[in-house]
Amino acid sequence: MMDITKLTAYETVKRIKSGEIGVKETLLSYLKKIEEREDLIKTFILIDRDRAIKKAEELDQLEHKEGLLFGLPVAIKDNINVYGYEATAGSKILKGYVSLYDASVVESIKRENGIILGKTNCDEFAMGSSTENSAFFPTRNPVNLEYVPGGSSGGSAACVAAEEVAIAIGSDTGGSIREPAAFCGVVGLKPTYGRVSRYGLIAFASSLDVIGPLSKDVRDAALMLNVIAGFDAHDETTVDIKVDDYLDILEGNIKGKKIGVIKEVMDFEVQKELKDALESSIQKLKGEGCEILEISIPYLKYALPSYYIIAPSEASSNLARFDGVRYGYESDGAYLREFYENTRTEGFGDEVKRRILIGTFALSEGYFEDYYLKASKVRRIIEMDFENAFEQVDALILPTTATTAFKLNEKKSPLEMYMTDIFTIPVNLAGLPAISVPAGTDKAGLPVGVQLVGKWFEEALLLRIAHHIEE
Amino acid sequence: MYKPTIGLEIHLQLMTESKIFCSCSTEFAAKPNTHICPVCIGLPGALPVLNEKVIEYGVMLGIALNCTINEVSSFYRKNYFYPDLPKGYQITQYAIPLAKDGFLEIVTENQRKMIRIEKAHIEEDSGKSIHTGDITESEYSFIDFNRSGVPLMEIVTYPDIESPDEAYEFLNLLRSIARYLGVSTGDMEKGALRCDVNISVSKDEVMGTKVEIKNLNSFRSVKRALEYEIKRQTKLIEEGRTVVKETRHFDEKDGTTKAMRTKEELNDYRYFPEPDLPPLIISGDFIEEIGQRIPELPNQKMRRFIEDYSLSIDYARSIAYVPSFSKYFESIIAFTGKPREVANFIMVNISNYLNETGKDIEEVPFGKEEFKELLDLIDSKIISLNIAKNVLDDSIRSGKSPSEIVREKGLSQVTDEDTLRSMIVEVLKENEMQVRQYLAGKTKVIGFLVGAVMKKSGGKANPDLVNKILLKELETLRQ
């Protein structure tokens, strides 16, 4: 008998629509898989079997099987609001907060008849690269349980890799979709900033946060982007630019496309297997008739320091609302200030507090110009570096990470952890679309990812190129 | 002589139907926490979307305040913790405000004066904390988020104001302009207009130390607080003591200002650009279109009333500053002419009636037809101006027409010369002393004699005729 959980999301929807498999049947296959594996991997913070089954039964009754995601189980990162479910963003401070509304992406998924299966684990407020910063429990890499799945969308990456769900939604502020995708051997797409609504995404760094899919292949990423992309009246940072049919354009050739290799990437120490994987992807592109050019992003090395000023600055303000007054965790205190201090001291984890402190400092009077403002200028320069690059090429190719996944508790200092994102962060600073595609494994059998970066709002070409290099 | 230097910081609630960043209603005094949504109570993941009506109102007010409108302005976050500030920051404008470099010309005691406006920007209001009893002893507090996200325009003046009266007049004019534009009720009692003041006093060109005063709940409070503060600061300097740079609270009960705890002032708001909102871009066409919709403003109206109708400053201001008054006034004089007389009736008789009954001027049952009738009665000398006032008072209250009242009460003037002459002769007999004085050259007593005749006639004698006949009779006596 066919194992439904082996199918891609695209295949699953196709077969459900053709009547080959049922919606409930599909869902039960996934629930069974979850039952077998979840205890070891721990990807979900919340699973609502009953609500999902009820929805599946409803869909099975329908005569017309409409919707791009008809009957497809979808997992949502826990920093995204789903009506009626707790949304903790992996933080103790939001324990008990139940969403009163659907995020725009969730609304879109529901509209296309996808089934929300549950909420996935993540680093607290998406701050981290290993999902070890979750206030509840770490998630493990399904490929090898001793290793982290990456983060912060580690739960979403792991549940797709473990075939516990067909497709998952994550968020990417500095690499939080692409890095776990690379670590778990799945596809992770970070769309252009402004392409997908952030309404309902619990903000970490508003000018960098982007929602995107983690999927089994590029086609599935295209399918989900078809559902979630577009202008949203609830988010003024979304842009009203034509949304292509990303599935439609996937197959076309990429002959004559110019692909840039960033010179400065090799200034960093990169694991040998990742260099090899990059090289073989480049060879594939050449084989498809692409032209490979070396280009320069001179300010690449300043991306990380700039990011670690801008993101914490915005976070310090975004996280101010978690004060225990209206929802979530609430401590006590003899007077207001003490109440705030106790609530936030007990409610936030160390990494979150560290970033709030960095951000608060960077925005303070007398430091604003030297930190926040300078970092913003550097960000603008990096953006210009990319603008120049994209005058010469159609896409860039580089490793997603410098190493494959690391073991739980392996990275001791915050700085070591921050370095994990050196190749993903510059892309967020520039707001560009990027995708991580699996490209083999290292000696230890851990997945390797290759990253493609496209021009602003040109996800169509990006996906097409990615489709050509995926295995 | 110590000279005060005063600057104002005013918050005006813009009376849009929905809030600045969400579609919740701005209805005042609704049941607490009934006009709220994920955006205005700061639920995780909610995002602001700018209400275009707020821009329209903001631009309109900016133009009326003679400001330059920035075609590109931006939003910032002002970060601080307080329970009624649900996001932990207020979305406001900072580096580039919607409007800047304006002015208003005020008139006090016949003097015109320019008060420059530094900037006017749009922002969101916070929720409202309701404490049980005194804030320091309150066991717990309530928070009403209905007000959270109500649009405000903050207007900051340069320190061009030099007296409490000027401050009062500036606020009065500003409120009137807002009402004419229909962008704010300006009701200070309902919190639709809030005002903080900065004040220093100085003997010479060297500026004194600036003190900020908060908790001003009415125009009168602003004036009282400033008067008190001028005295307090002047006294400190005279005694050789120093004025401390601080924020003080006005105490409505005893009319004094008191220092606030300094801790409350040590706020670093950590302003930075609001990443959830793109820069606000307004086209020149839009600004022009809004500019064309601005009606004649109260200060222009007032000047016109003075110049064209010779109204006194006080009457011109009182009528011009209240849109319903000037609408009433202008609709009447367009029909009747005689603006001075009409203004008089409005400011004395009709104002009294409104005060007595608590009614609005729109409800006054004395329109242009009635005015025309009344003014015609005066013109044709059937009644005197004094009688006319009584007729008006009677007509508003009884609903009868002026001629009806004159007829029923027999108020027509006595114009029969024989009747008047006999009354005058009687008066002259009764006041021999005054007659002697008059004949001795003290002509001022004529006023007294006229008054006596008027009294005898029950006010109905035609004053012009009385004068004429009286003089003639006195001359006869001289011979």
Domains annotated for chain A, with CATH where assigned, are 1-471 (3.90.1300.10)
Name residue B52's amino acid.
E
DSSP, collapsed to helix, strand or coil, labels residue A454 as: strand
Q: Does B140 touch chain A (CB under 8 A)?
A: no
Best CA proximity match to A164, nearest among A14, A40, A305: A40
Q: What is the mean pLDDT of each run of 10 residues along chain A (471 residues)?
A: 93 97 98 97 98 98 96 98 98 97 98 98 98 98 98 98 98 98 98 98 98 98 98 97 93 95 95 96 97 97 97 98 96 92 98 98 96 98 98 98 96 90 98 98 97 98 96 68
CA distances, B127 to each of B40, B124, B319, B377 (Å):
9, 10, 36, 58
- Per-residue pLDDT of B106-118, as tens digits, reads 998 778 999 999 9
In A364-456, which residue ranges form alpha helices assigned H by DSSP? 374-392, 414-419, 425-430
Strand B247-251 versus strand B211-214 pairing type: parallel
The pLDDT score that the predictor gives to residue B265 is 52
Q: What is the mean pLDDT of chain B?
A: 92
End-to-end CA distance of chain B: 62
φ/ψ of B49, rounded to 5, equals -130, 120
Q: Which two tokens stand for residue A111?
A: 């509209």
| Cα separation, A139 vs A181, whole angstroms | 14
Residue B243 near residue B211, CB atoms below 8 Å = yes
Strand A434-441 versus strand A447-454 pairing type: antiparallel
| Cα separation, B447 vs B467, whole angstroms | 9
DSSP, collapsed to helix, strand or coil, labels residue A331 as: coil
Residue B155 has pLDDT above 90, yes or no: yes
CA distances, B374 to each of A116, A143, B402 (Å):
79, 99, 6
- Per-residue pLDDT of B250-309, as tens digits, reads 999 999 999 876 555 567 999 999 999 999 999 999 999 999 999 999 999 999 999 999
Q: Does B75 touch chain A (CB under 8 A)?
A: no
| Cα separation, A26 vs A72, whole angstroms | 8
Beta strand segments in B180-236, E: 193-202, 211-214
Cα angle A166, A172, A174 (rounded to 5 degrees) comes to 145
Q: Which residues of A are catalytic?
A: 77, 152, 176
Strand A291-295 versus strand A210-215 pairing type: unpaired
**Residues 10-49, chain B, touching A (beta carbon < 8 A):** 38, 41-49
Minimum distance, in Å, between the CA of residue A63 and any CA atom of chain B: 36
DSSP of A114-156: -EEEEEE--SGGG--SSSTT-SS----BTTBTTB---SSSHHH
Of residues A103, A313, A323, nearest to B45 (C-beta): A103
φ/ψ of B399, rounded to 5, equals 80, 0
Mean pLDDT over B157-177 rounds to 97
Q: Which residues of A61-71 are buried (b: 16+ CB within 10 A; e: fewer)?
A: eeeebebbbbb
Minimum distance, in Å, between the CA of residue A195 and any CA atom of chain B: 14
| Cα separation, B67 vs A288, whole angstroms | 61
Best CA proximity match to A319, nearest among A279, A382, A363, A260: A363
DSSP, collapsed to helix, strand or coil, labels residue A343 as: helix
Q: Does A78 touch chain B (CB under 8 A)?
A: no
Residue B133 has pLDDT above 80, yes or no: no
Q: Does A371 touch chain B (CB under 8 A)?
A: no
| Cα separation, B62 vs B53, whole angstroms | 14
| Cα separation, B195 vs B177, whole angstroms | 16
Q: Does A340 touch chain B (CB under 8 A)?
A: yes
Best CA proximity match to A373, nearest among B79, B272, B270: B272
Of residues B88, B89, B277, nearest to A236 (C-beta): B277
CA atoms within a 13 Å half-sphere pointing along the CA-CB vector of B24: 26
Cα–chain center distance at B360: 16
pLDDT tier, B444 (very low <50, low <70, confident <90, very high otherwise) = confident
Of residues B88, B272, B278, nearest to A372 (C-beta): B272
Whether residue B79 and residue A89 make contact (CB cut-off 8 A), yes or no, is: no
The count of CB pairs under 8 A between chains A and B is: 98
Q: Which two tokens stand for residue B393?
A: 């008072």
In B92-202, which residue ranges form alpha helices assigned H by DSSP? 164-181
Minimum distance, in Å, between the CA of residue B88 and any CA atom of chain A: 5
| Cα separation, A38 vs A357, whole angstroms | 35
Number of H helices, E strands in chain A: 15, 11
The pLDDT score that the predictor gives to residue B262 is 56
Q: Does A94 touch chain B (CB under 8 A)?
A: yes
φ/ψ of A386, rounded to 5, equals -70, -40
Number of H helices, E strands in chain B: 16, 16
Strand B272-273 versus strand B256-259 pairing type: unpaired
**Which distant-in-sequence residues (6+ apart) come within 8 Å of A328 by Cβ?**
A93, A94, A95, A96, A97, A322, A347
CA atoms within a 13 Å half-sphere pointing along the CA-CB vector of A292: 16
End-to-end CA distance of chain A: 25
Q: Does B278 touch chain A (CB under 8 A)?
A: yes
- Per-residue pLDDT of B33-54, as tens digits, reads 999 999 999 999 999 999 999 9
Best CA proximity match to A244, nearest among A256, A230, A232, A257: A230
Please tell me whether the interface predicted TM-score (ipTM) of this complex is above 0.85. Answer: yes
The pLDDT score that the predictor gives to residue B121 is 98
Which domains are seen in chain B, by residue range? 3-288 (no CATH), 298-409 (no CATH), 417-478 (1.10.10.410)
Helix (H) or strand (E) holding B229: helix B219-238
- Per-residue pLDDT of B379-438, as tens digits, reads 887 888 888 999 999 999 998 999 899 888 877 777 778 888 888 989 989 998 888 898
Residue A171 near residue A164, CB atoms below 8 Å = no
The residue of chain B with its CA nearest to that of A82 is: B45
- Per-residue pLDDT of B53-105, as tens digits, reads 999 999 999 999 999 999 999 999 999 999 999 999 999 999 999 999 999 99
Cα–chain center distance at B162: 19
The pLDDT score that the predictor gives to residue B422 is 87
Best CA proximity match to A107, nearest among A232, A203, A208: A232
DSSP of A392-413: H-SEEEEES-SS---BTT---S
Whether cis (ω within 30° of 0) applies to the bond prior to A130 is no
